[in-house]
Amino acid sequence: MAPGPTPITYTSVTYPAGVFPCGGDATCPDLFTVSGLLMNNLVAGDNVLAAEVHQYNNASFDIVFGSALFYALPGATRPVLRMIREGGTMTLYWNGSGFTLQEAADAAGPWTDVPGPVTISTYAFQVPDGVNFFRLRN
């Protein structure tokens, strides 16, 4: 982006001729990773992640912004949540320790700790009516 006070418009970002992230489709994710030397820009305490949203062109009628931030500790084991179904019983199990099992009726949440709370692998329960989602939090 041009430095201020230059006005920022939908034409301010330049891409190779006719190439836009996701073809200009507002429902397609445009992912990027920050790693290596760029991580040296982080400081202890609060850091700010700033983003700008621009229309694909001046006739575009949709605009969407979503974000997610993931952090991975070097050498840390990432938990893997697995499931086995035997008849009417479901069993969830995972690797690692220090995690709490959570559940929700919708993948978007709200998420709540499974009563107990369940902090040790494995967790067995009767197959519920409807759909349930599970995740681990640390």
- Tell how far CA 97 is from the center of its chain: 21
Over residues 86-104, mean pLDDT:
90
Is 103 found in the same domain as 85? yes
Q: Residue 13: what pLDDT?
A: 59
HSE, side-chain direction, 13 A CA sphere, residue 114: 20
- Of 14, 39, 71, the residue at which a domain comes to its end is 71
Instruction: Summarize pLDDT for 17-41 with one digit per residue, the tens.
Output: 555 666 666 666 666 666 667 667 7
Of all residues in the chain, the percent with pLDDT exceeding 90 is: 22
Is 54 found in the same domain as 10? yes
Is 112 found in the same domain as 85? yes
Range name among 7-21, 24-38, 60-74, 82-96 with the lowest pLDDT average? 7-21
Domain-located, residue 40: yes
Q: Residue 123: what pLDDT?
A: 92
Is 10 found in the same domain as 67? yes
- What pTM was estimated for this model as a whole? 0.46
- Of 71, 91, 122, the residue at which a domain comes to its end is 71
Is 88 found in the same domain as 67? no
Is 62 found in the same domain as 29? yes
Domain count, the chain: 2
Q: Residue 118: what pLDDT?
A: 93
Is 104 found in the same domain as 41? no
pLDDT band at 119 (very low <50, low <70, confident <90, very high): very high
Over residues 1-12, mean pLDDT:
69
Domain coverage including residue 100: 81-137
Is 106 found in the same domain as 85? yes
- Are the beta carbons of 22 and 28 closer than 8 angstroms? yes
- Of 41, 71, 101, the residue at which a domain comes to its end is 71
Task: Compute the mean pLDDT over every residue in the chain, rounded to the nearest whole number.
Answer: 78
Q: Which residue carries 């690692």 as its tokens?
A: 96
Domain-located, residue 23: yes
Residue 87, pLDDT > 70, answer yes
Q: Residue 54: what pLDDT?
A: 66
Domain-located, residue 76: no
Is 94 found in the same domain as 33? no
Please give the C-alpha separations between residue 13 and each of 1, 36, 56, 74, in angstroms, as whole numbers: 6, 25, 10, 34
Domain-located, residue 13: yes
Cα-based torsion angle of the residue sequence 31, 49, 27, 57 in order, rounded to the nearest 10 degrees: -100
